Chains A and B, each alone.
Chain A
């Protein structure tokens, strides 16, 4: 390899030699110079500019080459510089011959006698000597330098290989901050070319918003010569940014001057996103914990509290600073727990103790009080051991303050007890009233009837035995007394029947409707002689209280007879038809009927719509019907128009709903 090498500081020797030789007449001086040349540690050659034959070779050169002076006189530089032929060598030295250059410096390889080679740096000058031109060659053996250079190259190679294998992006920058080298990963990741990246081209892969800050920091770091450390996104070949942690260190020379910066970009994208995600989860968790109305306390397995949320602190009436000092034992010095009923709870039964033993708590209701002051609440505890995040097992305790609810429950229970007590009292009072009522009715039945019997009996005796002594008016007076007595007797009997109906227990039995009605009608033979009676009742089975049904029917038939009594052709129709699960029995007459305006009144006790002399009655009959139907579980209603008769309907529960349908079909088929 031949490359011109600039000033290496060796010219001073050549200069000196020329000056000395110009003083040639002084022999002594020449001899002295010869001695210096001979002993120089540089190899020094003199050879003829025309023939190129060596004329002088100093000892250092001779030793190095392994030739004697005699042999060398026969040789030219071409013999020891195998890379040159004569033409190339003459071309090389030509500028010196033409005075274009004063000195020619080049590197070459010298061939020793033993065939080995060594690198040299040649300083070649042309001199005129005794009318002839000679070349003076001062040679430096540069083996050591070459070795060092090669080592440096190798070291640099190694460095680049290493830097290309590391997972980071890496680069080298000049002291001014411009970049001169990137590793392969940089190019792979960014998808850029060395040309694009030259100098300050690295800015192209930065986030435009972050860039000013990056440039500012980088400029500051390079100016101050301090390590650079920053995270920012870099655009990848796919156009997407990833976050990199970028670090750069200055490389200094022996004098401490910065020669280069070495930087790396480490991809921390996943890490940062992961951290971000975790931070978000934690943040969310914190928000939830902070805002939940239940208290949440997290403990480690030693029972040391790790976190109390705001609600838990609030509920325990305790400050944030105090709370971290608490462990289960100090907690037990401040608080005491007891059952809702107030029985003190031993420490090994406390919620946290139980959870730490591995128990699951679910709404354990306890009373909690402070030892040092008057403070008591009722809490509901839930919790268990649970794995958290990184698999660590922690104790979670959820606390709800249910004091208000508990108080409300207590109040409610008290109220209920009170109410029950009151109801019992009232029931007892009502029962007593009922008893009173019963005994009242008993008295009525007994005591009212006795004087009536007296009035009736003696008025009868008067009429019979003292008939002669009364004139007609007197006899009428007595008859009126007897009529009134009769009315009052009826009234009492009906009232007693009504009250008995109210007091009696209900006994439901299966009643075969058609035979029941025909039995009942047997009693009306004489009274209904002049009435056209129509009965159309299939053999329905109804579930009723027979006595109640008899009372209801008897009253309806009595009424029908009574109110159709003045009709030209009294007619009564009794019919039954089945509906879904009941049977509807109707009693229709063609009597005077009633105005539907008074409908509500007709079922009330003592309500009468007609004058007593026309239609006698106590006004209790329909009230009895309604009462009887209520007890049967049916109902009664009526339809009427004044002068157009009246129809009363009784709805009776069928014994078995399924029986009703075939009957209805039969009826329809017949109809």
Chain B
């Protein structure tokens, strides 16, 4: 079973492009999408209730309702989700965002490239690093 990747992203175009970038790299993991901060918190609750947790969370910072950093804080506050790798994928390259994200326990911070080519590179990196090389999925551990 291939574990899902959770994408927390409010911009449908970005969601679509991300999905397409993954497809180009033949990334098999199903993509789950939370379209705002609240939806992301709902996912956490479901994980607590026993639903399958994602192999990696791709988290935008600027989200409607609840900000990405708040979501990150919540993920790290819950025992179930606190070990899930979180990659911040955002348009902001502001220092304070970067610092705060890492301080709250982000594993990586990637500034969304505007060019689609670079976006595809990012998708490859994520695949390589977080889903294949680095983290053994909880299921594999079992």
Which residues from chain A sit less than 8 Å from chain B, CB to CB?
442, 445-447, 449-454, 456-458, 460-461, 485-486, 489, 496, 500
| Known contacts A442-B94, A445-B91; is-contact A450 B14 (Cβ 8 Å) | yes
Question: Are B13 and A454 neighbours in the complex by a CB distance under 8 Å?
Answer: yes
B117 in the interface (beta carbon within 8 A):
yes
Bound state CA distance, A212 and B111, in angstroms? 122
Among A449, A496, A500, which residue has its beta carbon within 8 angstroms of that of B114? A449
Question: Are B94 and A453 neighbours in the complex by a CB distance under 8 Å?
Answer: no
Bound state CA distance, A442 and B61, in angstroms? 11
Bound state CA distance, A507 and B11, in angstroms? 37
Bound state CA distance, A486 and B94, in angstroms? 21
List the A residue with the shortest CB-CB distance to B113. Answer: A453
* Least distance between A438 CB and chain B CB atoms (Å): 9
B73 in the interface (beta carbon within 8 A):
no
Question: Are A445 and B17 neighbours in the complex by a CB distance under 8 Å?
Answer: no
B119 in the interface (beta carbon within 8 A):
yes
* Least distance between A565 CB and chain B CB atoms (Å): 23
Given contacts A449-B91, A457-B13, A500-B94, 4 further A-B contacts (CB under 8 A): A446-B62, A450-B91, A453-B116, A456-B115
Query: Which of B90, B91, B94 neighbours the largest number of chain A CB atoms within 10 Å of its CB?
Result: B91
Interface members, chain B 95-123 (any A CB < 8 Å): 112-117, 119
Q: Which residues of A contact B91 (CB under 8 A)?
A: 445-447, 449-450
| Known contacts A450-B14, A461-B20; is-contact A489 B90 (Cβ 8 Å) | no
Bound state CA distance, A451 and B13, in angstroms? 8
Bound state CA distance, A48 and B33, in angstroms? 196
* Least distance between A505 CB and chain B CB atoms (Å): 11
* Least distance between B119 CB and chain A CB atoms (Å): 7
Interface members, chain B 61-107 (any A CB < 8 Å): 62, 90-94
Interface class of chain A by DSSP:
helix
* Least distance between A506 CB and chain B CB atoms (Å): 14
Bound state CA distance, A533 and B13, in angstroms? 45
Bound state CA distance, A453 and B15, in angstroms? 11
Chain B: interface residue total (CB-CB under 8 A): 18
Q: Which residues of B contact A485 (CB under 8 A)?
A: 114
Question: Are B90 and A453 neighbours in the complex by a CB distance under 8 Å?
Answer: no
Q: Which residues of B contact A452 (CB under 8 A)?
A: 114
Question: Are A442 and B92 neighbours in the complex by a CB distance under 8 Å?
Answer: yes
Bound state CA distance, A8 and B28, in angstroms? 184
Query: Which of A445, A457, A458 neighbours the largest number of chain B CB atoms within 10 Å of its CB?
Result: A457
Question: Are A445 and B112 neighbours in the complex by a CB distance under 8 Å?
Answer: no
* Least distance between A574 CB and chain B CB atoms (Å): 29
Interface members, chain B 33-68 (any A CB < 8 Å): 62
Q: Which residues of A contact B11 (CB under 8 A)?
A: 450
Q: Which are the 7 A-B pairs with shortest beta-carbon distances?
A: A457-B116, A446-B91, A454-B13, A460-B116, A449-B91, A457-B17, A489-B114
List the A residue with the shortest CB-CB distance to B119. Answer: A457
Bound state CA distance, A342 and B114, in angstroms? 71
Bound state CA distance, A449 and B93, in angstroms? 11
Bound state CA distance, A447 and B61, in angstroms? 12
Question: What are 14 A-B pairs at a CB distance below 8 A?
Answer: A445-B91, A447-B91, A450-B11, A452-B114, A453-B17, A453-B115, A456-B116, A457-B13, A457-B116, A458-B13, A460-B116, A460-B117, A461-B20, A496-B93
Bound state CA distance, A442 and B94, in angstroms? 8
Q: Which residues of B contact A460 (CB under 8 A)?
A: 115-117
Q: Which residues of B contact A449 (CB under 8 A)?
A: 91, 112, 114
Bound state CA distance, A318 and B115, in angstroms? 91
Q: Which residues of A contact B20 (CB under 8 A)?
A: 457, 461
Among A442, A451, A453, which residue has its beta carbon within 8 angstroms of that of B119? A453
List the B residue with the shortest CB-CB distance to A492. Answer: B114
Bound state CA distance, A486 and B115, in angstroms? 8
Bound state CA distance, A451 and B92, in angstroms? 14
Bound state CA distance, A460 and B119, in angstroms? 12
Bound state CA distance, A452 and B112, in angstroms? 11
| Known contacts A452-B114, A453-B116; is-contact A446 B13 (Cβ 8 Å) | no
Bound state CA distance, A460 and B62, in angstroms? 26
Question: Are A453 and B62 neighbours in the complex by a CB distance under 8 Å?
Answer: no
* Least distance between B8 CB and chain A CB atoms (Å): 15
Q: Which residues of A contact B17 (CB under 8 A)?
A: 453-454, 457-458
Among B92, B115, B116, which residue has its beta carbon within 8 angstroms of that of A445? B92
Question: Are A446 and B90 neighbours in the complex by a CB distance under 8 Å?
Answer: yes
Bound state CA distance, A447 and B119, in angstroms? 17
Query: Which of B14, B17, B116, B117 neighbours the largest number of chain A CB atoms within 10 Å of its CB?
Result: B116
* Least distance between A545 CB and chain B CB atoms (Å): 14
Bound state CA distance, A500 and B117, in angstroms? 26
Bound state CA distance, A442 and B62, in angstroms? 10
Question: Are A445 and B119 neighbours in the complex by a CB distance under 8 Å?
Answer: no
Bound state CA distance, A446 and B112, in angstroms? 9
Question: Are A450 and B13 neighbours in the complex by a CB distance under 8 Å?
Answer: yes
Question: Are B13 and A461 neighbours in the complex by a CB distance under 8 Å?
Answer: no
Question: Are A453 and B117 neighbours in the complex by a CB distance under 8 Å?
Answer: no
Question: Are B94 and A445 neighbours in the complex by a CB distance under 8 Å?
Answer: yes
* Least distance between B62 CB and chain A CB atoms (Å): 5
Among A442, A461, A500, which residue has its beta carbon within 8 angstroms of that of B116? A461
* Least distance between A249 CB and chain B CB atoms (Å): 116
Question: Are B117 and A446 neighbours in the complex by a CB distance under 8 Å?
Answer: no
Q: Which residues of B contact A453 (CB under 8 A)?
A: 13-14, 17, 112-116, 119
List the B residue with the shortest CB-CB distance to A454. Answer: B13
* Least distance between A460 CB and chain B CB atoms (Å): 4
Q: Which residues of A contact B90 (CB under 8 A)?
A: 446
Q: Which residues of B contact A458 (CB under 8 A)?
A: 13, 17
* Least distance between B10 CB and chain A CB atoms (Å): 9
Q: Which residues of B contact A447 (CB under 8 A)?
A: 91
* Least distance between A422 CB and chain B CB atoms (Å): 31
Bound state CA distance, A449 and B116, in angstroms? 12
Query: Which of A451, A453, A489 neighbours the largest number of chain B CB atoms within 10 Å of its CB?
Result: A453
Query: Which of A449, A486, A500 neighbours the largest number of chain B CB atoms within 10 Å of its CB?
Result: A449
* Least distance between A112 CB and chain B CB atoms (Å): 155
Bound state CA distance, A451 and B91, in angstroms? 11
Bound state CA distance, A445 and B112, in angstroms? 11
List the B residue with the shortest CB-CB distance to A496. Answer: B93
